[in-house]
Structure 1
Amino acid sequence: MSAIHFYKYQGTGNDFVIMDNRKGQYDFLTEEQVHFLCDRRFGIGADGLMLLNNYEGYDFGMKYYNADGRESSMCGNGGRCLVAFARKMGLNSEVLRFMAIDGPHEATMKGTDWVNLKMQDVNGVEIGNLYFYLNTGSPHFVKFVDDVKALDVFEEGRQIRYNDRFKAVGTNVNFVQPTDNGIFVRTYERGVEDETYSCGTGVTAAALMASGPEEKTYTVPVQTLGGGLEVRFTKTGEREYKDIWLCGPATLVFEGEISTPAK
């Protein structure tokens, strides 16, 4: 059994196990052990797990695993939580720069738990019959609906995620409803294989698709099951977006020690 000192963070209900791995002490983790740590009955319970790593030329590196134990693509809420954790671990630059699987990011904090995270530019969106498909660091299927609160997100999302096109590598599926001043988003996440309370890259994708035809700067308030976020960006072409910022809370829930099963 190997003991782990962990921290549990959440950003609008999207929750994560985080470890400080800057000395490489948690490089031993296997897919099975990550899955155990994220298990809500037998482990700590989380939508994903992250390691805070050293990365030359940056304040830190981000390594992200889905709850199924597999290393995955970019997680926006995870990135925001890791920034808050990095601050707690003593990385106090006004602008924190880090490397993730989709490339470099930068972030700032307002107060103790509000994180503004810069996302990658988006160039190109597939527009289909009643859907959009784009990559905001992770692949996202976006569909606008009339009554998002009444929707069976697990069943509807699972059907799309496991259809013939996506079943091999998966996609995240977002259902979006316009509100008086923004949008309401619910997301089925691959790797978790269920609805999560919030998905940062999904919220980002939905906000981009909710913008109007004008090429200008937008600020889109977003409501999720776990709370409110804000996405700011500039539309520079019909399907081109830059200077994208995902903004919202990232808070420490608790920290503790746990032993992982043998490899």
Structure 2
Amino acid sequence: MSLTRELIMLILIFAEYMEILFYKYQGTGNDFVMIDNRLQEFDKNNTKLVAKLCDRRFGVGADGLILLENHPELDFKMVYYNADGNESSMCGNGGRCLVAFANFLGIIKNKASFEAVDGLHHAIIENDLVKLQMQDVVSIENNKDYVYLNTGSPHHVQMENNIHDLAIKEVGSKIRYGQPYNEAGTNVNFVKQLSENTFQVRTYERGVEDETLSCGTGVTAVALAMFETGKTKSNLISLETEGGKLQVSFDKQDSIYKNVWLIGPATHVFKGTISW
């Protein structure tokens, strides 16, 4: 039996206005659209939709979008997209927020094991803080004016005395697209030492293409870079970002940084539906 013209029009109109249930989370100002995708209802190939949801004027507004999906062996799987709509490398604050989201959904209690784009992660929820174990770091490139390392995402780290007045977007974008990074690019962290084990950090994030209030893999990179270059002897480092305070702890065995933990708050902001 063929569909009538009126029914076809109704189907097309309904399809144009599908509603998406989302949750908004933030970790020290690094904010994310969270979607429970365990039923695989979200179109992961629709980069325009992801970018729209992250748009701060025409969508929900976020630094990135995260899908929580089923995993055959672990508690869940993390799929992360930058605000530009493209799937990206690991996001530390996003991972911490996803753990809080999984707790909210009742998938986990105070411990989690999940898969992200860079592999297996463990997490602990304790005293309103989410502690996320990051990957081991086996290589740190110590240059004259900056340090480069990968903490799940690539990071350029450089010291700046006048960090308060620094034009982060302008200076960060030049480094992000410049030599030696070029097309692949890098995240860029500017750092000022405040005490023996406390550092102020401002970060330009690729994919967002602007300064974000906080970056989890970024402060992790800063903590390891400061220890590697002798700026601190502490293996528990406090990082003050524009959006709040984080901590990073780690052990160094020979030249490898192991047992790396990113520690900080992760907060549910609101939930809602959006049509597209």
> Could you state the TM-score of these two structures normalised by the residue count of structure 2?
0.90
Comparing 215-224 with 154-163, which one deviates more in the overlay?
Answer: 215-224
Quote the Cα distance in structure 1 between the aligned partners of 2:44 and 2:187. 29
Question: Is 1:35–1:69's contact at 8 Å kept on the other side of the alignment?
Answer: yes
What is the aligned partner in structure 2 of residue 147 from structure 1?
162
What is the aligned partner in structure 2 of residue 254 from structure 1?
270
Quote the Cα distance in structure 1 between the aligned partners of 2:44 and 2:174. 35
CA 1:17–1:241 in structure 2 vs 1: closer, same or farther (change >3 Å)?
same
Question: Is 1:53–1:60's contact at 8 Å kept on the other side of the alignment?
Answer: yes
What is the aligned partner in structure 2 of residue 35 from structure 1?
51
Q: After TM superposition, give the deviation of residue 133 of structure 1 in Å.
A: 0.5
What is the aligned partner in structure 2 of residue 194 from structure 1?
210
Which has the larger Rg?
2
Percent identical: 54
What is the aligned partner in structure 2 of residue 231 from structure 1?
248
Given candidates 169, 178, 200, the residue that maps to 2:184 is 169
Kindly provide the CA deviation profile for residues 228-261 of structure 1, in whole angstroms up to 9, marking residues without a partner as x.
0000001223x4211000000000010000012x
Quote the Cα distance in structure 1 between the aligned partners of 2:45 and 2:97. 20
Structure 2 counterpart of 1:175, which letter?
F
Question: Is 2:110–2:126's contact at 8 Å kept on the other side of the alignment?
Answer: no
What is the aligned partner in structure 1 of residue 174 from structure 2?
159
Question: Is 2:103–2:110's contact at 8 Å kept on the other side of the alignment?
Answer: no
Q: Runs of 5+ in structure 2 lacking a partner?
A: 1-16
What is the aligned partner in structure 1 of residue 223 from structure 2?
207
SS in 2 for 1:179: strand
What is the aligned partner in structure 1 of residue 239 from structure 2?
222
SS in 2 for 1:44: coil
Q: After TM superposition, give the deviation of residue 169 of structure 1 in Å.
A: 1.2
Question: Is 1:189–1:195's contact at 8 Å kept on the other side of the alignment?
Answer: yes
Question: Is 1:176–1:206's contact at 8 Å kept on the other side of the alignment?
Answer: yes
Q: After TM superposition, give the deviation of residue 167 of structure 1 in Å.
A: 2.8
SS in 2 for 1:122: coil
Kindly provide the CA deviation profile for residues 171-212 of structure 1, in whole angstroms up to 9, marking residues without a partner as x.
000001111241010000000000000000000000111116
More helix by share: 2
Q: Which runs of 4+ in 1 moved over 3 A?
A: 212-217
Question: Is 1:7–1:254's contact at 8 Å kept on the other side of the alignment?
Answer: yes
Q: Does 1:72 align with 2:88?
A: yes
Q: Runs of 5+ in structure 1 lacking a partner?
A: none
Quote the Cα distance in structure 2 between the aligned partners of 1:37 and 1:29. 14
What is the aligned partner in structure 2 of residue 138 from structure 1?
153
Comparing 75-84 with 86-95, which one deviates more in the overlay?
Answer: 86-95
Quote the Cα distance in structure 1 between the aligned partners of 2:213 and 2:203. 8
The Cα RMSD (Å) is 1.7
Question: Is 1:203–1:222's contact at 8 Å kept on the other side of the alignment?
Answer: yes
